[in-house]
Amino acid sequence: MDVSGTSKNCEAKRSIRVAVDAFGGDLAPAEPVRGACEAAGCYSDTTVILVGRGDDIKRELDALGDVPTNIELVEATEVVGMHEAAVTALRSKKDSSIAVGARLVKEGRADAFLSAGNTGAMVAAGTLFLGMIPGVLRPGIAVPVTAIDHPVVIIDVGANINCKPLHMVQYGVMASVFANEVMEMQNPRVGLLNVGEEERKGAQLQKKAFDMLQDAPINFVGNVEAHDIFFGGCDIVLCEGFTGNVLLKTCESLVQKLLEFLEGEIKRSIRRQLGFALCKDVFKAARRVGDYAEYGGAVLLGVDGVIIISHGRSDAKAVKNAVREARSTLKLNVNEDITEAIKGVEKSVDVSLNGSSGAE
Amino acid sequence: MDVSGTSKNCEAKRSIRVAVDAFGGDLAPAEPVRGACEAAGCYSDTTVILVGRGDDIKRELDALGDVPTNIELVEATEVVGMHEAAVTALRSKKDSSIAVGARLVKEGRADAFLSAGNTGAMVAAGTLFLGMIPGVLRPGIAVPVTAIDHPVVIIDVGANINCKPLHMVQYGVMASVFANEVMEMQNPRVGLLNVGEEERKGAQLQKKAFDMLQDAPINFVGNVEAHDIFFGGCDIVLCEGFTGNVLLKTCESLVQKLLEFLEGEIKRSIRRQLGFALCKDVFKAARRVGDYAEYGGAVLLGVDGVIIISHGRSDAKAVKNAVREARSTLKLNVNEDITEAIKGVEKSVDVSLNGSSGAE
């Protein structure tokens, strides 16, 4: 296991180095390049390294004009497509921007890597190249989202679809550190997403996780349902990756559809258009649900380095915010604190509940 | 196994008899009693049987005044609470309205039973008292919902949280019959809810189900994501009960929260209130999402009888629509057609893919 990532994170002497995949996401390379430049302009203590095809990046930089001096460029000739099979793509495209970016972190040439590209490839690159924080069994994708009027962190949204109870407990611990330090949530309330709020609900995974979570060194508030997510019943939502993925995408698609529908309906009459013009500022908030541009992106918690996975449709603002998120995660030594917190799990939780197949 | 339910469904000579749990749901007994009377008033060929504490029901009927002659009353002295453990409650409360209502169907005294009460107890009562349609392995809850501007059927939303691939295939077959006949969807497109649209996505359950579904006698359109639900990519969404439950509740809570938030924001300025007054008709449609009052309720497909589970907050209109839905399901011989369709599954699908633990 490569633990260099953790030790690098606490070198406060030199500037922070954040690698940005210039070829990740639907709006690449224009928006990642622009976002990287905006971040570099904002954070003079940070070097932003653009990873991708140099010629294309230079063209984008030229178009922007004034390029901050703390922007660097690292060549990567290939791109992993948004729908390519992750592990296969990583192996066959050794010079892809995702592979190169993750290797920069592994080799200590960058402290963090962020991409709006293929999520599966980012998870694979993080896991294979950086290895895990000692004691962590599986990485989990933690996504800070706006539940209309307040932030909530959902973990896992798809890194691990064969989740064991102990993975879930570790997710609770890691997300608590992240939410507390980066999201500034005091003693965040951790809820287990379930099909009812009563005890003994759900499949074996949820029942065992519930039992273990009660002893875990976190602020566990029991089972939660969707209502609790939107009406303030918890700060962190624990779920296995399949359900979390469906939850996140449902929020995003439902809000998108609702807004498109309203827009279409409003256009159908002058009276409605007039009314909408007077109150449309109210609807801005709605657009933020399921959109994690504001927070920067999802964090791949558990890997020994800082990996941020931004939304596929990330614009410059989202990329800039993702750089900010990477900086915070580094400056606050989140991974060091996760390393310590994970040690507390085995002391407090009956890990035998996890079953023989899951402890690995 | 009791197959009398199926044979009863096709006796067209006598009137249809629909039992309604007068003590099911948050608004009982007032709204179920009122809805039952409205349905009886509408459908002269249908006898509506109110099940519950006679004194309370009579008081509600007296308050309504004119009671249709095709309303009957069957006494049940107990009520299963909304949060009671289902099987335990059914066993200890043998005279609960849910137990009595399900037994009416079992004994041929009613053709269908509907309740807005405890979902788990309704599933248990349906399964234990009525048994399964021959060949069906597990019942599934099919919910017709409005995806903003079009109907979609989601199955399963929580009857079966230990789902096997073959259960999923049977859900696809049963929901196709239901959607085609009751929802009048021509050749409904069945999608497998997954974490991506490409093949080979998901856990073992989804991968095996995908392979089997390709050969199933339905219009299988492959993997779908939330986007397809809201943007017209499929008519039926197949998922195991845990994910389906989260999906349904997320839609409902998100829309509720969004509308409450908008309402609160609008009240904060006269200008906004004025604007809203001019375009608020547009927002009515939004309220219908995740609200299955319009269609009447969820159907417990696979049990040998007609069991409708209405929303816990069902009002008289929802109860009335649930009676209409029960009538359609009976008149169209949905269970007979499911019995036939299920026979086609083993002929077309490689059931060995289900694994030894799932075929039962």
Determine whether B33 is exposed, middle or buried from the number of CB atoms within 10 Å of its CB (0-12, 13-18, 19+). buried
What value does the mean pLDDT take over residues B193-221? 95
Considering the domain boundaries, does residue A4 fall inside one?
A: no
What is the token pair recorded at B300?
């417990």
Nearest-Cα distance to chain A for B152, in Å, is: 13
Range of the domain at B295: 16-251+285-354
The sheet with strand B189-193 has its strands ordered as: B71-75, B46-52, B16-21, B112-115, B306-309, B298-301, B140-146, B151-155, B236-238, B189-193, B219-224
Considering the domain boundaries, does residue A40 fall inside one?
A: yes
Please check whether residue B40 is in contact with residue B49, taking contact to mean a CB–CB distance below 8 angstroms: no
Under an 8 A CB cutoff, do A243 and B241 touch?
Answer: no
> Above 90 in pLDDT, residue A350?
no
What value does the mean pLDDT take over residues A107-124? 97
**How many Å apart are CA B281 and CA B274, to the nearest integer?**
13
Determine whether B275 is exposed, middle or buried from the number of CB atoms within 10 Å of its CB (0-12, 13-18, 19+). buried
Determine whether B336 is exposed, middle or buried from the number of CB atoms within 10 Å of its CB (0-12, 13-18, 19+). middle
> Above 80 in pLDDT, residue A10?
no
> Quick count: other Cβ atoms within 10 Å of Cβ A353?
17
Q: Would strands A112-115 and A16-21 be described as parallel, antiparallel, or unpaired? A: parallel
> Above 80 in pLDDT, residue B167?
yes
Nearest-Cα distance to chain B for A38, in Å, is: 32
User: Given CA atoms B24, B27, B30, B33 in this order, what sign does their dihedral have?
Assistant: negative
User: Given CA atoms B268, B271, B275, B278 in this order, what sign does their dihedral have?
Assistant: positive
Considering the domain boundaries, does residue B256 fall inside one?
A: no
Under an 8 A CB cutoff, do B230 and A253 touch?
Answer: yes
Owner of token pair 């949280």 = B161
DSSP for A116-166, written as a single string: SS-HHHHHHHIIIII-BPTT--S-EEEEEEE-SSSEEEEE-SSS-SS--HH
> Quick count: other Cβ atoms within 10 Å of Cβ B307?
31
> A55: part of which helix (H) or strand (E)?
helix A54-64
pLDDT band at A1 (very low <50, low <70, confident <90, very high): very low
Under an 8 A CB cutoff, do B283 and A289 touch?
Answer: no
DSSP class of residue B133?
Answer: P
Cα dist from B281 to A33, B98, B253, B287, whole Å: 43, 38, 21, 11
Cα dist from B327 to B12, B50, B148, B182, B296, whole Å: 12, 16, 26, 10, 11
**How many Å apart are CA A92 and CA A78, to the nearest integer?**
10
Condensed to tens digits (0 to 9), the pLDDT of residues B334-343 reads: 999 999 999 9
Phi, psi (deg, nearest 5) at residue A122: -65, -40
Nearest-Cα distance to chain B for A239, in Å, is: 10
Q: Is B74 helix (H, G, I), strand (E, B) or coil?
A: strand
Condensed to tens digits (0 to 9), the pLDDT of residues A282-338 reads: 877 667 665 666 788 999 999 999 999 999 999 999 999 999 999 999 999 999 999
> Above 60 in pLDDT, residue B12?
no
Under an 8 A CB cutoff, do A258 and B148 touch?
Answer: yes
Please check whether residue A306 is in contact with residue A328, taking contact to mean a CB–CB distance below 8 angstroms: no
Which residues of chain A lie closer than 8 angstroms to B158, CB-CB?
Answer: 195
- Please tell me which residue of chain A has the smallest CA distance to B203: A161
pLDDT band at A360 (very low <50, low <70, confident <90, very high): very low
**How many Å apart are CA B104 and CA B86, to the nearest integer?**
19
Under an 8 A CB cutoff, do B202 and A252 touch?
Answer: no
Owner of token pair 């490839």 = A121
* pLDDT, chain A, mean: 91
**How many Å apart are CA B187 and CA B235, to the nearest integer?**
9
* ipTM over the 0.85 cut-off: yes
Considering the domain boundaries, does residue B271 fall inside one?
A: no
**How many Å apart are CA B212 and CA A264, to the nearest integer?**
39
Nearest-Cα distance to chain B for A195, in Å, is: 6
Chain A and chain B share a number of CB contacts under 8 A equal to: 175
Question: Which of A257, A259, A357 is best to mutate for the B interface (most B CBs within 10 A)?
Answer: A257
Under an 8 A CB cutoff, do A254 and B256 touch?
Answer: no
What is the token pair recorded at A47?
């070097």
Considering the domain boundaries, does residue A280 fall inside one?
A: no
What is the per-residue burial (b if ≥16 Cβ within 10 Å, else e) of A206-240?
A: bbbbbbbbeebbbbbbbbbbbbbbbbebbbbbbbb
**How many Å apart are CA A81 and CA A89, to the nearest integer?**
8
**Among the listed residues A65, A63, A99, the one whose alpha carbon sits nearest the alpha carbon of residue A79:** A99
Owner of token pair 């699908």 = B349
What value does the mean pLDDT take over residues B77-91? 92
pLDDT (0 to 100) of residue B288: 67
CATH number of the domain that residue A42 is part of: 3.40.718.10
pLDDT (0 to 100) of residue A276: 87
What value does the mean pLDDT take over residues B157-176? 96
Phi, psi (deg, nearest 5) at residue A157: -110, 20
What is the token pair recorded at B203?
């856990």
Determine whether A65 is exposed, middle or buried from the number of CB atoms within 10 Å of its CB (0-12, 13-18, 19+). exposed
Please check whether residue A298 is in contact with residue A158, taking contact to mean a CB–CB distance below 8 angstroms: no
Q: Would strands A236-238 and A189-193 be described as parallel, antiparallel, or unpaired? A: parallel
**How many Å apart are CA A114 and CA B340, to the nearest integer?**
54
Under an 8 A CB cutoff, do A257 and B162 touch?
Answer: no
Please check whether residue B314 is in contact with residue B297, taking contact to mean a CB–CB distance below 8 angstroms: yes
Under an 8 A CB cutoff, do B262 and A230 touch?
Answer: no
> Above 80 in pLDDT, residue A88?
yes
- Please tell me which residue of chain A has the smallest CA distance to B275: A275
Of B83, B226, B252, the CB nearest to A249: B226
pLDDT (0 to 100) of residue A290: 56
Owner of token pair 């006898």 = B47
Condensed to tens digits (0 to 9), the pLDDT of residues B125-153 reads: 999 999 999 999 999 999 999 888 899 99
Q: Which of A141-150, A319-328, B55-64 has the lowest mean pLDDT?
A: A141-150
Under an 8 A CB cutoff, do A279 and B271 touch?
Answer: yes
pLDDT (0 to 100) of residue B281: 81
Considering the domain boundaries, does residue B272 fall inside one?
A: no
Under an 8 A CB cutoff, do B275 and A271 touch?
Answer: no
DSSP class of residue A51?
Answer: E
Under an 8 A CB cutoff, do B203 and A275 touch?
Answer: no
**CA angle centred on A20, ends A15 and A21, rounded to 5°:** 155
Considering the domain boundaries, does residue B52 fall inside one?
A: yes
Of B195, B266, B278, the CB nearest to A242: B195
* pLDDT, chain B, mean: 91
What is the token pair recorded at B101?
């209502």
Please check whether residue B289 is in contact with residue B115, taking contact to mean a CB–CB distance below 8 angstroms: no
Owner of token pair 């998870």 = A123
Condensed to tens digits (0 to 9), the pLDDT of residues B101-115 reads: 999 999 999 999 999
Considering the domain boundaries, does residue A6 fall inside one?
A: no
Which residues of chain B lie closer than 8 angstroms to A249, CB-CB?
Answer: 225-227
Under an 8 A CB cutoff, do B229 and A149 touch?
Answer: no
> Above 50 in pLDDT, residue A4?
no
Condensed to tens digits (0 to 9), the pLDDT of residues A31-74 reads: 999 999 999 999 999 999 999 999 999 999 999 998 999 999 99
Omega within 30 of 0 (cis) for the link into A156: yes
**How many Å apart are CA B170 and CA B213, to the nearest integer?**
9
Under an 8 A CB cutoff, do A278 and B271 touch?
Answer: yes
Q: Which residues pair with A18 in a beta bridge?
A: A48, A112
pLDDT (0 to 100) of residue A11: 42
Of B230, B241, B266, the CB nearest to A282: B266
pTM: predicted TM-score of the whole model, two decimal places: 0.92
Condensed to tens digits (0 to 9), the pLDDT of residues A208-236 reads: 999 999 999 999 999 999 999 999 999 99
Q: Would strands B236-238 and A16-21 be described as parallel, antiparallel, or unpaired? A: unpaired
Q: Which of A246-250, A281-285, B289-293 has the lowest mean pLDDT?
A: B289-293
Enumerate the H helices of B50-164 as residue ranges. 54-64, 86-92, 97-106, 119-125
pLDDT (0 to 100) of residue A291: 62
Cα dist from B105 to A116, B14, B54, B101, whole Å: 56, 15, 19, 7
DSSP class of residue B128?
Answer: I
Q: How many domains does chain A have?
A: 1
Question: Which of A208, A230, A263 is best to mutate for the B interface (most B CBs within 10 A)?
Answer: A230
What is the token pair recorded at A83?
């729908």
- Please tell me which residue of chain A has the smallest CA distance to B240: A243
pLDDT (0 to 100) of residue B250: 95
Q: Could you tell me what percentage of chain B is helix, strand and coil, using 3-state DSSP and rounding each to the nearest 5?
A: 45, 15, 35
C-alpha neighbours within 13 Å on the C-beta side of residue B192:
34
Enumerate the H helices of B93-240 as residue ranges. 97-106, 119-125, 165-181, 204-213, 226-230
Nearest-Cα distance to chain B for A197, in Å, is: 9
Condensed to tens digits (0 to 9), the pLDDT of residues A266-283 reads: 888 899 999 888 888 887
Q: Would strands A306-309 and A112-115 be described as parallel, antiparallel, or unpaired? A: parallel
Which residues of chain A lie closer than 8 angstroms to B253, CB-CB?
Answer: 225-227, 229-231
pLDDT band at A358 (very low <50, low <70, confident <90, very high): very low
pLDDT (0 to 100) of residue B298: 95
